[in-house]
Amino acid sequence: MPRLTLPAIACAAGYAAVALAIAAAALQFGQRRADGLDVPGAAPADPLAAALARCRGIGLAVADDRACKAAWAENRRRFFADGPAGGAGADED
What distance in Å separates the CA atoms of residue 29 and residue 38, rounded to the nearest whole number? 10
Instruction: Tell me which DSSP letter residue 93 carries.
Output: -
35 with 49, same domain: the answer is no
Residues 71 and 55: beta-carbon distance below 8 Å: yes
State which residues form the domain around 74: 43-82
The span from the CA of 69 to the CA of 46, in Å, is 17
Alpha carbon distance 83, 81 (integer Å): 6
88, part of any domain: no
pLDDT of residue 70: 94
26 and 9, same structural domain?
yes
Q: Are residues 11 and 33 in the same domain?
A: yes
For residues 60 and 77, membership in a common domain is answered with: yes
pLDDT digits (tens, 9 = 90+) for 44-76: 578 888 899 999 888 888 888 999 999 999 999
- pLDDT (0 to 100) of residue 93: 45
Q: Are 14 and 47 in the same domain?
A: no
> Apex CA 33: angle with CA 26 and CA 28, to 5°?
30
pTM: 0.42
Q: What is the pLDDT of residue 29?
A: 80
Q: Looking at the structure, tell me whether residues 51 and 67 fall in a common domain.
A: yes
